[in-house]
Amino acid sequence: MEHPDNPEDDIDFEMEHWKLDKLTILRNIIPKRVEKQVGYEHPKIQTFLKRAFTRNIFNIVRLGKSPFHDLIFAQELITKEDERDLFSNPTVFKDGELDWKWLDKKLKMIHEGPFEKLKSVPIHIKFDGKYVNMTRGDLVKEKPIKISIVQYNRAKSIFTLKMNLDLFHKYLFLISSRYAKIGSTNNHCSMPPRVIDFTMSKMELFGSPINTCSQQYCSPFYDIEYIFGSAGTFFNFEFSPGVYSLDPPYDDTIMTEAIKRAIEALENIKEITFICCIPVWDEVSQKKYNLPLHRKGDFKAFELAEQSGFLSSNEVLDRSEHPFYHYFLDQYIGVSHTHLLVLSNNNNYQLTARDIKDKWTEIVKESPRNIGR
């Protein structure tokens, strides 16, 4: 995506809209199986719609589309898995029609967004202990956008324009609002920064200006995030030899596509390595390590990695012993039992998954509560 040559003089804050089809198309996604009397206020419907919105919209973004620029077809919002989960209880959901008012309202909120007058509006910043609250000058009664001081300082350190606090705060508010509005506040976790350093990774392939530690990283909103040094979406990135941190969101589609791209790079580029974290969702490993059965059946992303011919080592990380770092909370949290995979075609890369696992353990013990950098 192209960006302005002189962004200080050409900030287009008018572009924040959603080019989405209307409610009539949204209604066509789901077969008419939901009992009319249930209505969209039913807790199961609400849970489904919220999960569908926050996960699928964000993952569409991760796959390289921007809801602020590209037409997103209604069929892309809801997957077959969503549909299956929604209608898994036939005693509750019978023939009927799903009411899309909740989703339509959510889309309108973002479409009409808080950005259309941002260029001429001051951003109020309030430092509150470990956090930074940001509000628009003309919408002071709105709930503030909140990030941690760690995230604030990170974004400030990689801001590529000539430092102007007012300009910086506008862009920071803009990107933070995007992530908040699309419901991605749970996407603040990553491998601990010192673990990433230990692996000699030169780039984080899934991140944002507020949840990465590397100088080079990929992120979904290049139209704004290039100002913070982003290389754009992982799915359009051109690889070169080196070591990469591959820590995708725990979503089947995203993980499968990410592993496919990694394998394609390994087949075509010499001396390239991916340090990859994906959850232990395969039934075989869950049984082998006596873990709670997350689900039955196949786990496509792990199968692809196993069968690729490039899996040089693999370790399972215990959820409690190998937590991930949460940039918003500024502490370690247990996410899930995790496959730590080293996918490589570089015989000179000496680190194994076991080496990285041991270092991870050591780092967390040294600094159990925070980034420890």
* 321-368 per-position pLDDT tens digit: 999 999 988 889 888 899 999 999 998 999 999 999 999 999 998 875
Find out whether 160 and 229 touch, Cβ atoms under 8 Å: yes
Contacts of 268 (CB under 8 A, 6+ apart): none
CA distance 193 to 151: 13
Give the residue from 112, 141, 162 where a domain finishes: 112
**One-letter amino acid for residue 288 of the chain:** K
Whole-prediction pTM: 0.77
Tell me, yes or no, whether 122 and 167 share the same domain.
yes
Containing H/E element for 170? helix 165-181
Residue 252 belongs to a domain = yes
**One-letter amino acid for residue 88 of the chain:** S
What confidence tier does 21 reach under pLDDT thresholds 50, 70, 90? very low
- Give yes or no for residue 170 having a pLDDT over 60: yes
Find out whether 323 and 369 touch, Cβ atoms under 8 Å: no
Q: Tens of pLDDT along 214-258? A: 999 999 888 788 999 999 989 889 999 999 999 998 888 889 999
Tell me, yes or no, whether 205 and 329 share the same domain.
yes
Tell me, yes or no, whether 176 and 62 share the same domain.
no
Tell me, yes or no, whether 245 and 361 share the same domain.
yes
Residue 59 belongs to a domain = yes
Tell me, yes or no, whether 199 and 284 share the same domain.
yes
- Give yes or no for residue 17 having a pLDDT over 80: no
DSSP secondary structure letter of residue 323: P
Residue 360 belongs to a domain = yes
pLDDT reported for residue 147: 92
Domain total in the chain? 3
Residue 6 belongs to a domain = no
3 state SS of 7: coil
Q: How many residues does the chain have?
A: 373
Phi, psi of 324 (to 5 degrees): -100, 160
CA distance 195 to 199: 6
pLDDT reported for residue 338: 95
**One-letter amino acid for residue 237 of the chain:** F
E strands present in the chain? 123-128, 131-136, 145-148, 189-190, 203-204, 242-246, 272-279, 311-317, 324-326, 331-333, 338-344
Tell me, yes or no, whether 229 and 162 share the same domain.
no
What confidence tier does 112 reach under pLDDT thresholds 50, 70, 90? very low
Residue 74 belongs to a domain = yes
Portion of the chain with pLDDT greater than 90, in percent: 41
Q: Which residues of 351-372 are buried (b: 16+ CB within 10 A; e: fewer)?
A: bebeebbebbeebbeeeeeebe
Tell me, yes or no, whether 206 and 275 share the same domain.
yes
Helical spans, DSSP H, in 4-71: 23-27, 43-51, 58-62
Structure tokens at 184: 């991605």
Tell me, yes or no, whether 347 and 209 share the same domain.
yes
Tell me, yes or no, whether 219 and 334 share the same domain.
yes
Structure tokens at 334: 């247990």
**What's the CATH number where 241 sits?**
3.40.50
CA-CA-CA-CA torsion sign (61, 63, 54, 146):
negative
Give the residue from 79, 112, 145 where a domain finishes: 112
**One-letter amino acid for residue 352 of the chain:** T
191 closest CA partner among 208, 211, 221: 211
Give the residue from 112, 137, 164 where a domain finishes: 112
269 closest CA partner among 281, 261, 259: 261
pLDDT reported for residue 10: 42
Full residue range of the structural domain in which residue 225 is found: 189-366
Tell me, yes or no, whether 208 and 338 share the same domain.
yes
CA distance 305 to 193: 24
Residue 15 belongs to a domain = no
Q: Tell me what percent of the chain is helix, strand and coil, each rounded to the nearest 5.
A: 35, 15, 50
Tell me, yes or no, whether 107 and 89 share the same domain.
yes
Beta bridge partners of 72: 20
Residue 16 belongs to a domain = no
Tell me, yes or no, whether 210 and 291 share the same domain.
yes
Portion of the chain with pLDDT greater than 70, in percent: 64
3 state SS of 333: strand
CA distance 203 to 206: 9
Residue 13 belongs to a domain = no
DSSP secondary structure letter of residue 20: B
Find out whether 30 and 188 touch, Cβ atoms under 8 Å: no
